[in-house]
Amino acid sequence: MSNPYAKLPAWAEYGLIPLVNLVVAFLVAGLVVLLVGENPLNAAYHMINGAFGRGEYIGFTLYYATTFIFTGLSVAVAFHAGLFNIGSEGQAYIGGIGVALACLWLDKTMPWFVVFPLAIVGSAAFGALWAFLPGWLQAKRGSHVVITTIMFNFIASSLMVYLLTRVLKPLGSMAPQTRTFEAGGQLPKLDWLLSVFGLEVGNAPFNVSFLLALLAAFGVWVLIWRTKLGYEMRTMGFSPSAARYAGMKEARITVIVMMISGGLAGLMALNPIMGEQFRMQLDFVQGAGFVGIAVALMGRSHPAGIIPAAILFGMLYQGGAEIAFEMPSISRDMIVIIQGLVILFAGALENMFRPAIGRGFATFGRRFPVAAERGA
Amino acid sequence: MEFFDTIVAILESTIRVSVPLIFAALAGLFTERAGVFDIGLEGKMLGAAFAAGAVAAVTGSVLMGLLAAILISVLLSLVHGYASITQRGSQIVSGVAINFIVAGSTVILGEAWFRQGGRTPALDADARFQTVTFPFADAVKDVPIFGPIYSNLLSGHFILTYVAFLLVPFSWWVLYRTRFGLRLRAVGENPGAVDTAGISVIWLRYRAVICCGILCGFAGAYLSLAMSAGFVKGMTAGKGYIALAALIFAKWRPVNIMMACLLFGFLDALAIRLQGNPLPFIGQVPVQLMQALPYILTVILLAGFIGKAVPPKAGGVPYVKER
């Protein structure tokens, strides 16, 4: 596809433009706060204080960030191959089955470090399984993956209601959830990591799966930029016809990419299920799959961008709770607006400010030719 | 006779729940036929429902409510149009963004303005749509077979219900028998050819997107001014996505759309009816299966096992004029 815009230096491409888009998204969100009759600066203060003010708050921020790193990576991997996986939500939800099965099976007899690897495999397998069909349908039958994954989200949600109200629920209990796991199904907190910085983790459910998320981010970087499959994925995403001409097997890549994407989404289930609630509840994903879209767009589908973007959204979730506490007229739904605005400005309107910034560089480029050359 | 009454009752609720689907799916028909994919139907419908509920509650006028719904829905459509036509951004991403922005802001604004937990105040009879009773509906009520069909199934719906069903042949006429319709379909299949003929692709697509906004406005107004008396947070509850599924299931054709919406509405009505009542021969059907059925059917259709759904050729691709 032809790119109608002038090439910018890397720092502008990956730093300045996302930053400008983000700032605009927050300015519009500030307008909504004004419309509600509150002071946006106050809201920003409460948000930042609520996200970073204490060790416990930081723990919560990183807990949410863990979830969003997984879903962000999931969306990003598919993006690289030119696929839009809106189904991370459903894949994460189904991934929960893998975690719950591992925990329900072994939590009474085995320590967490035996259950955890099994739960990792289980969640990734179930998530990948749920992404397999949309991937296969796209590859073999040409059904658009966007539509099928939306449909699969709804099917997943019906399936999980069925499983949690009829199959996985303990006898005699009314609540649609599994039983609470014993010690083997509970991940240890990362209190030592925060105490290195002199912070107390308190009640925050900041747990080992954060390290797994970082590992997954590294793994995705290796996959996309250091393996043959990654090269084929990027080729396919850049130009499907070029990939076909080079003899790459489109169908095979599509299915594998969707399964990797689904597996990453499935891993997300570890964090809330084994890290916080110690049981699988109805609707435990809570839209994290969709946040993943915003995170991937903001992070420009690069793990090094996804981690800060995930932390930013973790900050929004944790700080948003604090705003809701301090300013009753701004509920947590404010985050949903910000999330939508970020998707709009960093995603659909990503090129809105590009011509202006490009012009700016063209003018300055003439004055500082060295910088412009290095950029090109 | 009791069995017959049950069937009439199920069909009646089928019609009631299909109406927003028909409006929204027809809305999607106009943009998607013009080559602009729209997964933001859900958000536009929700925004329209909120605007309708809020304005009707403040002004006490159902007409003002409807106009507000259309206005908001068209504005959201224009945002989608600006992002995906003018800025040539991803149409899918833009649709997702609109869904989130609306889902959040209807709750925040509703709570700030009305303080009723994300609802708008309950509407008086004047501020919402009234049902229309056909002549002699009461008189023929007791006539066997014909009576219940005429007075329960055909008569006694909201005016918007009849509008929705009339819009089906009207949309067909616009798309297949007018110059605008021909060009609109052409721009979804081969925008380059339309451009060569000296017709503005951009302006045509914008008009399609505005049509979509108007129809989504009707869908939203139906939800908050007819089906219930006021806006409740998240009241679209996935209807926009079901409408999208219906649009695909109908292979982007107006009459098929009506059929698909009625089918999905029927499944919905049946699911409510079957809760706790086992089916003969099959036994108890889990209600979740019934709820998932529209989505499962759509996936099966997309897989090409019942016919083949071929989307407009230029759908999802922003048009770049030759430079």
Beta pairing partners, B283: B279
Q: How many CB pairs under 8 A join A and B?
A: 151
The answer to whether B101 contacts A340, with C-beta atoms less than 8 Å apart, is yes
Cα A66 vs. chain centroid, distance in angstroms? Answer: 8
| 281-320 in chain A: CB under 8 A from chain B | 290, 293, 297
CA B223 to chain centre: 10
Inter-helix orientation angle A333-343/A288-298, to 10°? 40
Contacts of B244 in chain A (CB under 8 A): 147, 150
Mean pLDDT in consecutive groups of 10 residues from the start of chain A, 376 residues: 64 81 89 86 89 89 95 95 92 95 90 93 96 92 85 93 87 84 88 83 89 96 94 91 90 95 96 92 89 89 92 89 82 85 86 82 66 44
pLDDT confidence of residue B1: 63
Using the beta-carbon criterion (under 8 Å), do B244 and A335 form an inter-chain contact?
no
The 10s digit of each residue's pLDDT in B135-182 is 777 777 777 777 777 777 787 788 899 999 999 999 999 999 999 999
Which residues in chain A have Cβ-Cβ distances shorter than 8 Å to B311? 144
Sequence spans of domains, chain B = 2-237
pLDDT tens by residue, A238-272? 888 899 999 999 999 999 999 999 999 999 999 99
A281 beta partners: A177
pLDDT digits (tens, 9 = 90+) for B61-116: 889 999 999 999 999 999 999 999 988 888 888 998 999 999 998 988 888 888 88
Q: Please judge whether B93 and A141 are an interchain contact, meaning their C-beta atoms are less than 8 angstroms apart.
A: no
Nearest Cα to Cα of residue B266 among B2, B5, B13 = B13
φ, ψ for residue B131, nearest 5 deg:
-80, 150
pLDDT at A2 (0 to 100): 44
Query: What are the tens digits of pLDDT across the range B175-214?
Result: 999 999 999 999 999 988 888 899 999 999 999 999 999 9
Query: What are the chain A neighbours of B82 within 8 Å (beta carbons)?
Result: 349
Yes or no, beta carbons of A348 and B103 under 8 Å apart: no
Question: Which distant-in-sequence residues (6+ apart) come within 8 Å of A257 by Cβ?
Answer: A77, A78, A80, A81, A83, A135, A233
Using the beta-carbon criterion (under 8 Å), do B304 and A161 form an inter-chain contact?
A: no
Which of A152, A166, A344 has its CB closest to that of B101? A344
Q: ∠ at Cα A67 (B299, A57), nearest 5°?
A: 150
The class (CATH top level) of A57-361 is mainly alpha
Q: Are A340 and B320 within 8 A, CB to CB?
A: no
Contact B98, A344 (CB under 8 A): yes
**Conformation bin of residue B158: beta by default, left when phi > 0, alpha when psi is -120 to 50:** beta
Inter-chain residue contact A35 with B244, CB threshold 8 Å:
no
Is the CB of A148 less than 8 angstroms away from the CB of B97? no
Residue among B93, B28, B70 nearest B242 (CA):
B28
Residue with tokens 């959204």: A313
- Interval A111-126: pLDDT, tens: 999 999 999 999 999 9
Nearest to residue B247, comparing CAs of B302, B180, B210? B302
Taking only the tens place, the pLDDT of each residue in A78-89 is 999 999 898 999
Is residue B247 a contact partner of residue B239, using CB atoms and an 8 Å limit? no
Closest CB to B96 among A137, A161, A293? A293
Percent of chain B with pLDDT over 90: 41
Using an 8 Å CB-CB cutoff, list chain A residues near B112: 35-37, 329
Q: Collect all residues with Cβ–Cβ distance below 8 Å to B188 and sequence separation of at least 6.
A: B32, B33, B34, B35, B312, B313, B314, B315
Nearest CA in chain A to B94: A348
A368: exposed, middle or buried (Cβ count in 10 Å: 0-12, 13-18, 19+)? exposed
Alpha-carbon Rg of chain B, whole angstroms?
20
Domain limits, chain A: 57-361
Contact B73, B217 (CB under 8 A): yes
- Say yes or no for a CB contact (<8 Å) between A147 and B108: no
